[in-house]
Amino acid sequence: MMNDWAGLPATYSDVLRRAMESLFRTFENFSEGTFIVDAEARVVWINKRYAARFGFADPEQAIGRDCEAVIPNSLMREVVKTGKPILLDILETDREPLVVTRLPLKDDAGETVGAVGFALFDELKALTPLFSHYSRVQEELIATRQSLAQARRAKYTFGSFVGTSAASLEVKRQARRAAQLESPVLLLGETGTGKELLAHAIHGGSARANQPLVTVNVAAIPDTLLEVEFFGAAPGAYTGADRKGRVGKFELANGGTLFLDEIGDMPLPLQGKLLRVLQDKEFEPLGSNRIVRADVRIIAATSADLPALVAAGRFRADLFYRLNVLTIHAPPLRERASDIEALAYAMLEDLSTQARGGSHYELQDDALRLLCAYAWPGNVRELRNTLERAVMLSDSERIDARALAPFVGSGQSGGLSAIQRVPDAQPPADGEAGNAATGPSSWNEAMAAFEKRFLSDALRANGGRVIDAAAQIGMGRATLYKKIAAHGIEI
Ligand SMILES: Nc1ncnc2c1ncn2[C@@H]1O[C@H](COP(=O)(O)OP(=O)(O)O)[C@@H](O)[C@H]1O
Ligand SMILES: [Mg+2]
């Protein structure tokens, strides 16, 4: 073959002709079989090896027959009819399957005059590395998609929203309605009132439930990184960018829901960009020339007073109106004290399930009255934290007001005095709880404060080593750890 190329071809068309001849010979030599059909898909040429494989000792016997009569399942007729090649295919035969390629033959006018078929090899084994690589990649892709879908599925449903007060029922009614619609949702309410829970429930109850729910906590991400977080970036788009670039949350949420938590904290320039994306439904990742279309439903939440931010020029009015279509106010817990009992029981049930050794925690009546009398500035989240601490430190599974009092209001600025801010709360009837609840310097409170100071001192004296501190004050190590957690002591 080299000889063909020895003398440099004289003309442009010579090069092409020689390339074609050489190509054909190479395929013919290395393939398992080659054959040619005419415009009627009749065999006009077949090499010896291929003819023999299909039972024709002499290739001449195959000439003039329909291609399917020589090679069952042949698709050469289709190639002749469409004039389009079938570049790679697997041909089932009565022996091993063959990997084949089929190309149309055209005349100078571009008319299809026939087709040539090559059986590239008869052992699929030759393709095994390719196939196994492909199927492994495919499997990994499926597994990743499944775990992502799992992670992005809504954590809570409407059933997770505990409460039967009129205010809670109204919130649930509005949220259910929002799930049926496509417009943006704005969730307003103090921290801990269940806005995130509602966002999950709305997504989970919507037509987008099987698509991703992606969350961005605007307050938790530095302003300088927010734009990339939202819209993504091309590789090397900014200093320190990931080498591979970054997919933005908008793109990740495509087809699903994007939950923008603490949207009141969004910097003004980004508010403008967000508004544009909501209007155009497309955007360009940072430093790329790529237009990404995003079909995303927005649920935004904030504990800030958004109208006040608008008035102060810190939140764009046009974005506010765009988001303020379906607005749901999550009421503070102190305005629905009748929910506290159900909430407390649901949470204790939860804590009991989590506790080892099958504990079952219960609230005494006086403890419940104490909970109902408090103003809960941190709302349901604070209620949950309070019960968690009380359970952790309680010696008994039956928690009374006396055991509970040190923890009510402990993490909050208001402290126990916040109880007095609730004008119509029922005063605790029980003697001891009553004392705890009416004065800021009750015995329980004083004891808790003393204990916290005492333990902090002991820890400091021992350089923060819990084991040494426990030994010094004669307390079990596990107990000390529990108390450190309950009091929120920093070591
Ligand atoms: N109505 C409710 N029923 C049950 N749990 C609730 C309810 N509202 C809030 N929670 C719980 O309280 C905590 C805070 O709720 P979250 O939705 O994060 O509040 P927000 O987003 O308004 O700050 C979460 O653990 C949540 O599950
Ligand atoms: Mg929140």
Q: Which atom of ligand 1 is nearest to the CA of 199?
A: 17
Does any ligand 1 atom lie closer than 6 A to the CB of residue 285?
Answer: no
Average pLDDT for the chain: 85
Distance 192 CA to ligand 2 centre (A): 6
Instruction: Give residues with Cβ within 8 angstroms of 51, minimum separation 6.
Output: 57, 58, 59, 61, 62, 70
Q: Is the separation of the CB atoms in 405 and 368 below 8 Å?
A: no
Query: Considering just the CA atoms, what is the radius of gyration of the chain in Å?
Result: 37
Q: How far apart are CA 165 and CA 171, in angstroms?
A: 10
pLDDT tens for each residue of 15-53: 878 888 888 888 888 888 999 999 999 999 999 989 999
Phi, psi of 105 (to 5 degrees): -110, 130
Q: For residues 368 and 410, give the distance between their C-alpha atoms in angstroms, rounded to a whole number.
A: 17
Domain ranges of the chain: 31-122, 153-331, 336-487
* pLDDT at site 15: 80
pLDDT band at 118 (very low <50, low <70, confident <90, very high): very high
Residue 218 CB partners (closer than 8 Å, separation 6+): 226, 260, 261, 262, 263, 265, 266
Among 158, 193, 381, 385, say which to mutate for ligand 1: greatest number of ligand atoms within 8 Å of CB. Answer: 381
**CATH class label, 31-122:** alpha beta
**Cβ(376) – ligand 1 distance below 6 Å:** no
Q: Which residue has the tokens 């810190």?
A: 314
Could you read off the pLDDT of 282-333 as tens digits, one per residue?
Answer: 999 988 888 999 899 999 999 999 999 999 999 999 999 999 999 999 999 9
Q: Fold for domain 153-331?
A: Rossmann fold (3.40.50)
385 lines ligand 1 (CB under 6 A): no
- Distance in angstroms (rounded) separating the CA atoms of residues 178 and 185: 7
Instruction: List pLDDT tens digits, range 214-245.
Output: 999 999 888 888 999 999 988 877 666 566 78
From start to end of 324-443, where are the E strands? 326-329, 362-363, 398-399
User: Separation of 156 CA from ligand 1 center, angstroms?
Assistant: 10
Closest by CA position to 33, among listed 3, 56, 14, 6: 56
> Tokens 């590395």 identify what position?
129
Range 171-203 burial, b when 16+ CB lie within 10 A, else e:
bbebbeebbeeeebbbbbbbebbbbbbbbbbbb
Cβ(380) – ligand 1 distance below 6 Å: yes
pLDDT band at 2 (very low <50, low <70, confident <90, very high): very low
pLDDT of residue 448: 81
Ligand 1 pocket: which of 155, 190, 197 to mutate (most atoms within 8 A of CB)? 197
Q: What is the pLDDT of residue 491?
A: 75
CB atoms within 10 A of CB 431: 11
Helix (H/G/I), strand (E/B), else coil: 348: helix
Residue type, 139: E
Residue 35 has φ and ψ, to the nearest 5°, of -150, 160
Q: Are strands 282-283 and 326-329 parallel, antiparallel or unpaired?
A: unpaired
End-to-end Cα distance, the chain? 82
Binned at pLDDT 50, 70 and 90, residue 433 comes out as: very low
> What is the CB-side half-sphere exposure of residue 343 using CA atoms within 13 A?
29
CA of 262 to the centre of ligand 2 (A): 7
What mean pLDDT is predicted for residues 114-142?
78
Tell me how far apart the alpha carbons of residues 135 and 283 are, in angstroms, rounded to a whole number: 34
Protein residue with its CA nearest to atom 8 in ligand 1: 194
Contact between residue 358 and residue 415 where contact means Cβ atoms under 8 Å apart: no
Closest ligand 1 atom, CA of 261?
Answer: 21
pLDDT tier, 372 (very low <50, low <70, confident <90, very high otherwise):
very high
> 392 with 482: CB under 8 angstroms?
yes
What is the structure's pLDDT at 133?
77
**Residue nearest (by alpha carbon) to ligand 1 atom 13:** 381
Mean pLDDT on 251-264 = 95
DSSP for residue 37: E
Mutate to test the pocket of ligand 1, among 380, 384, 386 (most ligand atoms within 8 A of CB): 380
Ligand 1 contact via 262 beta carbon (within 6 Å): no
Please enumerate in sequence order all residues whose Cβ is within 8 A of that of 443, keeping only pairs 6 or more positions apart, or say none.
435, 436
User: What is the crossing angle of helices 443-461 and 431-438, to 10°?
Assistant: 70
Q: Is the dihedral of CA 175, 179, 180, 186 positive or negative?
A: positive
CA geometry: angle 360, 362, 368, nearest 5 deg: 160
Confirm or reject CATH 3.40.50.300 for domain 336-487, answering yes or no: no
Given a contact cutoff of 8 angstroms between Cβ atoms, the answer to whether 43 and 70 are in contact is yes
Q: Which amino acid is at 172?
A: K
